[in-house]
Amino acid sequence: MIVTHTIGETREALSQAHRTAKTIGLVPTMGALHSGHMSLVDAARSGCDFVAVSIFVNPTQFAPSEDLDTYPRAPEADLNACESHGVDLVFMPSVEDVYGQGALTQVWVEELSETLCGRSRPTHFRGVCTIVAKLLNIFQPHRAYFGAKDYQQVSIIRRMVSDLSFPVEIIACPTVREADGLAMSSRNAYLSPEERRQAPALSVALQRAKESIRRSHPPAPHAIREIRDYLAHEAPAGTIEYVQAVDPDTLRDVETTEGPLVLALAVRFGHTRLIDNVLVDAPQRAP
């Protein structure tokens, strides 16, 4: 496994890979790799000849009040995990190498970045799109893999790739969950034992709402109210940031639950912000 630290070294290793490998897959991460990340690596490994992972805690996607300094970092364990999952190259740059020369250019996807998480994190997706655009340019992969847990992130990246004609296929892999349903996240490590006990309520609330939509098609505000009530009861340590029912493509709020939609939420437990979502893609009326 090759480990690179600079953009120059990476481009050099990639130019060799582009000569010999038919398909190159990139898994962009911020490290502290868990089974969710490794499922992306495994998907890349089974679909591509050459698999690259980037590990970079990208400062531009954190607001000054957010957890950049305390974000979990585990470089040794990450390298071991990559090695044992058959990764060909890991790129672990420093902030200086990525942004050292200063940058006057940023990528901003309108509308899609302004709803859901974008309401409380107005600069977040600008940072995400800019770093992902840079990584796509550095690696020029045929495929790039992202987790569906960050539904909005994947939608925005797909739109960026389409609007800016990046020649890459964006693959969204299913959310990997703990046995009790909690979506895997590097931030789960911050939860206190009591918060951890309550956190699975997020996915349970979404699943219950999905079933109720498939059964009886309540108006969307009604489904949202059910989720909020369930969380108030089962996760009282959490503060709800948002619960929304949105169109899967435009991310605009929907009023009815007759068509496909995504239920998405963000809940804060102390300083730990958790997100989750569920796609309700083919609502069916009860027979």
Which residues make up the interface to ligand PAF (CB under 6 A)? 28-30, 58, 61, 128, 131-132, 150, 153
Alpha-carbon separation of residue 226 from 69, 214, 243 (angstroms): 36, 14, 10
Of 266 and 280, which CB lies nearer to ligand PAF in the complex structure? Answer: 266
Of 61 and 198, which CB lies nearer to ligand PAF in the complex structure? Answer: 61
Rounded Cα distance, 13 and 273, in Å = 37
Is 105 buried (19+), middle (13-18) or exposed (0-12) by CB count in 10 A? exposed
CB of 153 to ligand PAF, least distance (A): 6
Question: Are 249 and 190 within 8 A, CB to CB?
Answer: no
Please identify which of the residues 5, 34, 37, 142 carries the catalytic annotation: 37
Residue 230 structure tokens: 């369930």
Of 187 and 210, which CB lies nearer to ligand PAF in the complex structure? Answer: 187
Of 33 and 209, which CB lies nearer to ligand PAF in the complex structure? Answer: 33
- What b/e sequence results for 207-245 when a residue is b if at least 16 CB atoms lie within 10 Å of its CB, and e otherwise? eebbebbeeebbebeebbebbeebbeeebebbebbebbb
Residue 37 annotated among the catalytic residues of the structure: yes
Rounded Cα distance, 98 and 108, in Å = 18
Catalytic residues: 37
